[in-house]
Structure 1
Amino acid sequence: MAKRGVKVLKGDEKKEKREDMWLAQIGQRENHRYASDNSESSLLIHQLGRDISINCLLRCSRSYYGIIATLNTGFHSLIRSGELYKLRRQMGIVEHWVYFSCNLLEWEAFDPIHRRWMHMPKMQAYECFILGEIGIIAGGCDLRGNILSSAELYNSETGRWETIPRMNKARRMCSAVFMEGKFYVIGGIGVESLKTITSVEVYDLKTKTWSEIPNMYPTPNEGAGPTEEPLTAEAPPLVAVVNDVLYVADHVLKQVKKYDKEKNLWVTVGPFPERTTSMNGWGIAFRACGDQLMIIGGPRVLGAGFVEIYSWVPKEGPLEWNLVARKPSSSFVYNCAVMGC
């Protein structure tokens, strides 16, 4: 942003100045939109005016947006338009929610700040991920079972997919994370053998090129002895990034490990929550939620069980899991995503 005048603004003053500019833009857009509709039902908080009303909504927890949308047509139109989420992003207001599915086609959301559970409308159980306005998919298989090296980028602002350069190696059953502004593709099975690919591919969003980091991903089952399970039965790597630090959940040893970038090695941080179980890595989720790591799952029991959410904030010291929430449910997590907006 270009500087105007010679006054040097402090941090709070800069924030206030940005907010004033954003609110002015909001007012211009909304006044134009509602110029032809002056009915009372289209107004927000009439006594405060549209600008201040919207300013209040930006700071209100989005867990209440559904209720607010029922107040009148003005609130309903504003929240349905998605404009509030875009403005919250510009102002740096982010609330991370955990979305997960323990029953096919059924999703639940959990707000870790207000400790609220929300049942979501039924939807297709497609995997999803998000980083601000973009998402990237890489690798996988086509309908004939051919392992792919192709990659595509989705821009949620434009609603368009863009083909990006291919990876150096084709791989499936891999995982991916964003770290330090780059996209990392980790693990997976290649074309030549059923052994896990230990090199990691990194896509630089600025140069639009891929590079490889050899021997970055730890060999599965390392230190756990031989296993009779075929590698294809293993879940994709359970990885998450907090504050640009990469963590992996080793489901065999039931340990969380941290990646040391300078030494290119993994350091054991601590064990899983005692009650968390999985089937070759399937059935649990390992995610970053703001500045904390989360493990979502539960004990393996017949009939009625529980799903549990554990969290740990790495910057606060040694690994100590905190039981954030627990509710009756199937303990097998089919899919999970954390989104902040």
Structure 2
Amino acid sequence: MSRLEGSIGFSRRRYGPRSRARDFFEGANESSSNEDVVGSSDSVESQDADYSSFVPSLSDELICQIWARFPSSEYWKLGLLNRWSLDLLKGGELYRIRRDIGVKEPSVFMLASGEAHWWVCDRQFRYWRKLPILPSDPCFAAGDKESLCAGTHLLVSGNQIEGVVIWKYDLVLDRWEIGPPMISPRCLFASANCGDFAFVAGGIGMGTKREVLNSAELYNRESQTWDELPNMNKQRKLCAGCYMDRKFYVIGGQDGEGNNLTCGEFFDADRNEWKLIPDMLKKDVPIATSRSPPLLAVVDNELYFLEASSNQLKVYLKKSNSWKELGKVPVRADHSRGWGIAFKSLGDELLVIGGGPCYSSSSSASTGHGMKIYTCSPDPNAESLQWRILDIGSKPTSHFVLNCAVMVA
């Protein structure tokens, strides 16, 4: 009996390796009628068949190595094969192998206005699946929330009747549960993720004083704990974060007196300290009132900024501490001063989700309604970028994105 067989109580007599291989490559192409997903195992029972006389034998380890290289958006099909496959998926072994061999695949988690469910989509937005209902109280459901990812965890922070809470969605187990609270609960904070870790910094403390914070924390998916980091140089709320050049950056925001901050700063984990970047926004980026936190995304260690008041996309020039314009994005971020727009990195692409009248390649306004999703492969040296609109059919139509987070697993 192999190590995998022993760890999950696998019986080779009933679930031979030949059965698993044959079931997957034939049964995985069968469609599901579940209306909540383009492909789902929610209402389909696993099948235990024996094709041992037809398919050459494969070891458990080899099967796991093969499946680990499949797109994770296809993993729901494993639940259709047999209980061994389902137990393997729920045990997280495939994701551990993916981390070990360096397989990374972005998935987009999104909650749009008027939707009761969160959606998870593959990077092409061809596969959409509703997550289980988040079992919070009405206060949390109706209030503002902030989201971030760490490994296979989606963390959603907000207020319930009894106070601040973090709900954690576990991709491996496909379920929501209460997650560990931050050391200093906060809202309107900056965040960024790196592999199994997520950073948060600044924001407004959720205690009685509601002070603007300069504290920072690190979430560890493996231990499911928060660790305290050194304090930033500045108190910041309505700031934004990103991970670039192996450092956690926090940019913009407002201080405790409500003054707009033009500086940025980054946390150097090797030196365990923060370094200030003066005038990171002042030279090229107008700062509007009542606007969202800066809309940032990093692709190939290049920082891109969607300036909401002009719908202009800019790339950060590190050597000169300045910004270069790359043209307008194809959605109207200025309609709600940057709120309701998702601007994210999606592997080697930029992703923007929004709605309303949009700009064509000739920069003239054209009419559009409902949610629109665009991607592009950015080039810092280009004069403008070519955006590609994705066909989402009859999926959620609200153009206002309440929360969006990208998970890489």
Q: Could you tell me which residue of structure 1 aligns to residue 27 of structure 2?
A: none
Q: Could you tell me which residue of structure 1 aligns to residue 304 of structure 2?
A: 247
| Mapped contact 1:107–1:119 kept (Cα < 8 A) | yes
Q: C-alpha separation between the residues in 1 aligned to 2:332 and 2:233?
A: 39
- Give the direction of change, closer, same or farther, for the CA distance of 1:141–1:32 in structure 2 (3 Å limit): same
Q: Which of 52, 55, 61 is matched with 2:71 structurally?
A: 61
Please list, as runs of the form range in 1=range in 2, the aligned pairs for 1:37-48 lying within 5 A after superposition: 37-38=11-12, 40-41=14-15, 44-45=20-21, 47-48=57-58
Q: C-alpha separation between the residues in 2 aligned to 1:122 and 1:277?
A: 32
Please list, as runs of the form range in 1=range in 2, the aligned pairs for 1:276-295 lying within 5 A after superposition: 278-295=335-352
Q: Could you tell me which residue of structure 1 aligns to residue 405 of structure 2?
A: 337
Q: C-alpha separation between the residues in 2 aligned to 1:272 and 1:205?
A: 34
Q: C-alpha separation between the residues in 2 aligned to 1:249 and 1:36?
A: 52
Percent identity of paired positions between Structure 1 and Structure 2: 33
- Give the direction of change, closer, same or farther, for the CA distance of 1:152–1:281 in structure 2 (3 Å limit): same
* Cα displacement (A) at 1:277: 5.7
- Does 2:265 match 1:198? no
* Cα displacement (A) at 1:280: 1.0
- Give the direction of change, closer, same or farther, for the CA distance of 1:53–1:336 in structure 2 (3 Å limit): same
Q: C-alpha separation between the residues in 2 aligned to 1:200 and 1:42?
A: 57
Q: Could you tell me which residue of structure 2 aligns to residue 24 of structure 1?
A: none
Amino acid at match of 1:140: G
Q: Could you tell me which residue of structure 1 aligns to residue 319 of structure 2?
A: 262
Q: Which of 133, 140, 147 is matched with 2:196 structurally?
A: 133
Secondary structure in structure 1 of the residue aligned to 2:262: coil
Secondary structure in structure 2 of the residue aligned to 1:173: coil
Q: C-alpha separation between the residues in 2 aligned to 1:336 and 1:220?
A: 27
In structure 1, stretches of 5+ residues that fail to align are 1-26
* Cα displacement (A) at 1:42: 8.3
Number of equivalent positions? 305
Superimposed CA distance per residue, residues 25-83 of structure 1 (whole angstroms, 9 cap, x where no aligned partner): xx964144146755524864473221221112111111111121232111111111122
Q: C-alpha separation between the residues in 2 aligned to 1:338 and 1:100?
A: 9
Please list, as runs of the form range in 1=range in 2, the aligned pairs for 1:1-150 lying within 5 A after superposition: 29-34=3-8, 37-38=11-12, 40-41=14-15, 44-45=20-21, 47-103=57-113, 105-113=116-124, 115-123=126-134, 125-129=145-149, 130-143=193-206, 144-150=209-215
Which ranges of 4 or more aligned residues in structure 1 deviate by more than 6 Å? none
Q: C-alpha separation between the residues in 2 aligned to 1:82 and 1:126?
A: 26
Amino acid at match of 1:332: F
Amino acid at match of 1:189: Q
Q: Could you tell me which residue of structure 2 aligns to residue 321 of structure 1?
A: 387
TM-score of the superposed pair, with normalisation by structure 2: 0.69
Q: C-alpha separation between the residues in 2 aligned to 1:239 and 1:308?
A: 19
Secondary structure in structure 2 of the residue aligned to 1:40: coil
Superimposed CA distance per residue, residues 278-323 of structure 1 (whole angstroms, 9 cap, x where no aligned partner): 401101111000011011111179xx95211101101495411110
| Mapped contact 1:106–1:120 kept (Cα < 8 A) | yes
| Mapped contact 1:42–1:73 kept (Cα < 8 A) | no
| Mapped contact 1:218–1:266 kept (Cα < 8 A) | no
- Give the direction of change, closer, same or farther, for the CA distance of 1:36–1:56 in structure 2 (3 Å limit): closer
Q: C-alpha separation between the residues in 1 aligned to 2:335 and 2:130?
A: 24
Q: C-alpha separation between the residues in 1 aligned to 2:198 and 2:335?
A: 27
Secondary structure in structure 2 of the residue aligned to 1:314: coil
* Cα displacement (A) at 1:196: 1.7
Amino acid at match of 1:173: L
Amino acid at match of 1:254: N
CA root-mean-square deviation: 2.6
Amino acid at match of 2:204: C
Amino acid at match of 1:201: E
| Mapped contact 1:135–1:154 kept (Cα < 8 A) | yes
In structure 2, stretches of 5+ residues that fail to align are 22-51, 137-144, 150-192, 359-367
Secondary structure in structure 2 of the residue aligned to 1:330: coil
Q: C-alpha separation between the residues in 1 aligned to 2:253 and 2:299?
A: 22
Secondary structure in structure 2 of the residue aligned to 1:325: coil
Q: C-alpha separation between the residues in 1 aligned to 2:261 and 2:91?
A: 43
* Cα displacement (A) at 1:220: 8.8
| Mapped contact 1:175–1:188 kept (Cα < 8 A) | yes
| Mapped contact 1:260–1:266 kept (Cα < 8 A) | yes
Q: C-alpha separation between the residues in 2 aligned to 1:36 and 1:296?
A: 44
* Cα displacement (A) at 1:217: 2.2
